[in-house]
Amino acid sequence: MGKLLNIVTPLHESTKRDYLARMVDDKVNCMKLAKQYGKDYWDGDRRYGYGGYSYMPGRWKPVAEELISIYNLKSESKVLDIGCGKGYLLYEMKLLIPDLNITGVDSSDYGLENAKDEIKPFVCNHKAEAKLPYEDKEFDLVISLGTFHNLRLLELKIALSEMERVGKKGYLMLESYRNEAELFNLQCWALTAESFLDKDEWIWLYNNFGYTGDYEFIYFKD
């Protein structure tokens, strides 16, 4: 089993959220629309997802710097991002290491079509729960941020085993909870999540599904 890291948490905690307002705002229909992962989810009203997910220069730079440092990435290192969305993290990594060999996969056509132009040649549509079209240990690092909790348990086994198979090292970040208050907040806020597990349950899954990489959990505090 890998290490528990603290890479995305500072960025996550910098955003304010009104949990109750989302829960009482026709949430079932908002969830249905969010799970289409189209324009409404990425760039529509906040009630459907991000509320406008535009590139903000430097926002993902601290995360990129941490990943590069922790995993000793260099020119021509190969990195795969599962659930890359619009590819902003990959873009920031590429700015820091221009010769970095990047690949991103995501199931959202809209997200990929609206990725930064510099990233579009390196990303493609692929579901996280499907077998990856890559060789064993093809990548020096495989990352996935905020994606796997959107899968059902039967899909997680495939996703985790595939992430393990194609990467020499891995970093996985998911939403979780440690107490009843955080569970309530998570259930209020989440629009696309299918697996609501506490941190110990996630670690149990990693051990039983064969994932040995590093991991991080983000929590929804009061």
Residue range 91-136, pLDDT digits in tens: 999 999 999 999 999 999 999 999 999 999 999 999 999 999 999 9
**Distance between CA atoms of residues 38 and 32, nearest Å:** 11
**Backbone region of residue 158 per phi and psi (left: phi > 0; alpha: psi in -120 to 50; beta: other values):** alpha
Q: How far apart are CA 88 and CA 211, in angstroms?
A: 25
Q: Can you give the pTM of this predicted structure?
A: 0.96
Residue 222 has pLDDT above 90, yes or no: no
pLDDT at site 3: 97
Which tens digits make up the pLDDT trace of 32-88? 999 999 999 999 999 999 999 999 999 999 999 999 999 999 999 999 999 999 999
pLDDT exceeds 90 at position 151:
yes
Q: Could you report how far apart the first and last alpha carbons of the chain are, in Å?
A: 30
Is residue 86 packed enough to be buried (19+ CB in 10 Å), middle (13-18) or exposed (0-12)? buried
Q: Which domains does the chain have, with CATH numbers?
A: 9-47+56-218 (3.40.50.150)
Phi, then psi, of 169 in degrees rounded to 5: -135, 155
Query: What is 3-37 written as a DSSP string?
Result: -B--SSHHHHHTS---HHHHHTTTHHHHHHHHTT-
What does the pLDDT read at residue 142?
A: 98
